[in-house]
Amino acid sequence: MARYRVAYRQDGPARWVGHLDIMRAFARAARRARLPLAYSRGFNPRPRMSFAAPLPVGMQGGQEYVDLELEEALPVEEVVHRLRETMPPGLQVLRVRRVPSDSPALMGILDRVRYVCRGSLGSHLTLAEIEERLASFLAKGEILVVRRTGEKPRDIRPGIKSITARVDNGTISLVMELKAGSHGNVRPEEVLHALCEIMPIDPASFTIARTALIAKDGKLLWDC
């Protein structure tokens, strides 16, 4: 058994494809590439694939990850070439590396995610003024949001690791590192809505891209 970590980009038409269909697309591409995929046992065998985290529908993923298990070892260059030949539009294989078969699952070591959110400012603010407002925002003891109607407010401040800003001709780019995983995860849309209280922005006008997935030790998942 051999395990390969695949870094890939998800954009274009693939932005609008749900996670289950992305899983099927990878399995189909691997079969078309004649890779010797390993399968689970039981009455309903499934390809042994492990994704880091589902990408929300509509969001671009600049560097996503999936681990594939093969029944036999192949040269990394061959795996890259075969997959690139069979991936559907919007899914681009960036690189592949072999990882130890006993490495922890990607989802288990994921700690936080980096997003780039771009939109327009409703009024002129200098970068210094924006940074001052962000510092005040991050100094709050709690930041309450309601995820679904009828739910109690939840404090997302512990899950906001950092926010930095750039401004260019009335466009603001916010780089956020937010908690990810099964507990305490924070969505970039929630942060944008909370920022409305201190900044002239319209969250609905922002484009959001996920650019990095980071492990508990601070490394990119690629390096784990």
CATH number of the domain that 76 lies in? 3.30.70.580
Note whether 72 and 40 are same-domain residues.
yes
Note whether 63 and 119 are same-domain residues.
no
Strand 207-215 to 60-70 pairing: parallel
What's the pLDDT tens digit per position in 105-127?
Answer: 999 999 999 999 999 988 888 89
For residue 40, pLDDT over 80 is answered with: yes
CATH number of the domain residue 120 falls in = 3.30.70.3190
Domain count, the chain: 2
Give bridge partners of residue 116 from the DSSP assignment: 175, 209
Which of 67-71, 80-84, 181-185 has the weakest average pLDDT? Answer: 181-185
Burial tier of 136 (Cβ tally within 10 Å: 0-12, 13-18, 19+): exposed
For the chain, give the percent of residues with pLDDT over 90.
82
Note whether 98 and 142 are same-domain residues.
no
Domain span including residue 163: 110-223
How many CB atoms neighbour CB 175 within 10 A? 15
Note whether 125 and 214 are same-domain residues.
yes
Domain boundary among 50, 73, 103: 103
Could you tell me if 191 and 160 are in contact, meaning their C-beta atoms sit under 8 angstroms apart? Answer: yes
Could you tell me if 97 and 52 are in contact, meaning their C-beta atoms sit under 8 angstroms apart? Answer: no
